[in-house]
Amino acid sequence: EWRPAVILAAIDCADEDNQQVCSDFGITGFPTMKFFRAFSKKPEDGIRITNPSATVEDLRHAIITNLEQSQDAWPPACPPLEPASAEEVRTFFQRNKDQYLALIFEKSNSFVGREVALDMLQYENIAVRRVLSTEEELVEKFGVTTFPSGYLLLRNGSFSRLPVHIEARSFYTYYLRTLAGITRGSYKLNTTASTANDTDHVSQPLRADRSKLYMADLESALHYSLRVEAARASALAGAQLAAFKCYVATLVKYFPGRPCVQTYLQTLDAWLRNWTEPELPRTVLKEAMKNNRDASHPSVLPTNVTWVGCQGSERHFRGYPCGLWTIFHLLTVQAAQNGPDKELPLEVLSTMRCYVRHFFGCQECAEHFEAMAAESMDRVASREEAGLWLWSHHNKVNARLAGKGGCHEGRGDTEDPMFPKLQWPPPDLCPQCHKEERGVHAWEQPAVVTFLKAHFSPANIYMDYAEADPIPAAREGTGARLGPEGPREERGRADEEEKETE
């Protein structure tokens, strides 16, 4: 409604196609909001709006504040926002052709008058000005006793108080727009510009079994975490670079991938170990992370993003956060299965903590995870305890987000109504994990440990909907598992493969 003085634009930095432009604008976390003054020409001209997770009202106030600080670059279409003087009001109709002048009397810290002025920007035959409570001449002339309050002046010199039910922005705006002779001008909002909701729904959901893990989810999350999320910054250095190297090294040790993916991770890990410069430019890293299908041992991490067990009812639900949680659950369990229980108990958890701190796009989520880690992670004394710690704290996250939306790359609505955030595993997946103590639900931890070991095992990873394996010998069947007793097989359904970007 404030166009053309203020134009809002949004860009989805979680979309891989937008990675370069988001990097150009210095976006590393979400939500990030920047204000560009009129006539701005460069990405670095943007002024960061602090506390972007606040209310819409706070955002409006921040926009107005930044507008008022842009006197040297005032938008040509923007109405005056400074307080009106008695002289300006007295001579207004001599200098303007408008039929009405609305005055919003308010205290200096109120934004109502400025908001209404911008709300009425697209409407002709009326102007809106704010008058401060300290403007004694006008306050006395109109008999103003409460702030805010609105008054309407006509060209014939008459005036009246705005007859609104509540002295508030929306009531003022509605009343003024319904006045006789008030019409919306030639500038119309483009109401067809955004049709995201029409295409957001997942039209053909992929079949998934909650008791299984899907390699498509794991590889999609790996691709996104390595090539998109960790590669947002123009360069990695210091703690960020160390965190990235640690993440890849941990994946090499414990991720039970297909041979081509294991080769990919090993190749990337070796390359990172050989990188000794203090700074790693993104362009160099992106080149190093490309697939090599022509090698004698193909080094391939699929670039398709296909969510199966992590698929939501709409494209912005679940997806990557679900996949990343699954990867780290898998890593904690595999670390416990493949090393001395008391040796390096925090290896995987510390890797996750560093990754989330430095790379995870949802800043609020990262802060919550860091708070949980700081509170109790250092008390983990074994690899088995590490798996339990992550399980219990994932349930804490679900409890916090249940019913009120979560955070995926800045979005505040990520609790999928079709997949409510419940305590996991539910009774139908692990009945022996649940018990009651004095009428209150409790967890049977030994049963939970047994369940986690089985659920997050290579034998429970299924190849349904995964991208075709570049190694011909691996394409022998369908619906195969990645287990020690079975071949690393692939479901080769090309018609099921589609690129979904979150």
Provide the pLDDT for residue 302: 93
Q: pLDDT (tens digit, 9 = 90+) per residue, 162-196?
A: 998 888 888 899 899 989 999 887 654 443 333 44
Provide the pLDDT for residue 474: 42
Q: Which segments of the chain have a pLDDT < 70?
A: 52-54, 186-205, 313-317, 402-422, 438-440, 471-502
Provide the pLDDT for residue 460: 96
| pTM for this prediction | 0.63
Produce one character per residue of 169-185: b if its CB has 16 or more CB atoms within 10 Å, e if not.
Answer: bebbbebbeeeeebeee
Task: Tell me which amino acid residue 307 is.
Answer: W
* Cis peptide leading into residue 340 (ω within 30°): no
Provide the pLDDT for residue 421: 60
Provide the pLDDT for residue 139: 96
Is residue 179 classed as helix, strand or coil in its secondary structure? coil
What is the secondary structure of 184-228 as a DSSP string?
E-S----TTS--HHHH-B-SSPPP--TTSEEHHHHHHHHHIIIII
Domain 86-184 has CATH 3.40.30.10: yes
Indicate the CATH number of 213-474 among 1.20.120.310, 1.20.1740.10, 1.10.10.10, 2.60.40.10: 1.20.120.310
Query: What is the C-alpha separation between 408 and 31, in angstroms, rounded?
Result: 10
Query: What is the C-alpha separation between 388 and 465, in angstroms, rounded?
Result: 30
* Torsion sign, CA atoms 492, 495, 499, 500: negative
Domain with CATH 1.20.120.310 in the chain: 213-474
Segment 110-116 long-range contacts (CB within 8 Å, at least 24 positions apart): 110/147, 110/148, 111/60, 111/61, 111/64, 112/148, 112/168, 112/169, 112/172, 113/148, 114/64, 114/81, 115/60, 115/64, 115/169, 116/150, 116/169, 116/172, 116/173, 116/176
Other C-beta atoms closer than 10 Å to the C-beta of 167 total 18
Provide the pLDDT for residue 419: 60
Is 345 within 8 Å of 380 (Cβ atoms)? yes
What is the Rg, in whole angstroms, of the alpha carbon atoms belonging to the chain? 29
Domain with CATH 3.40.30.10 in the chain: 86-184
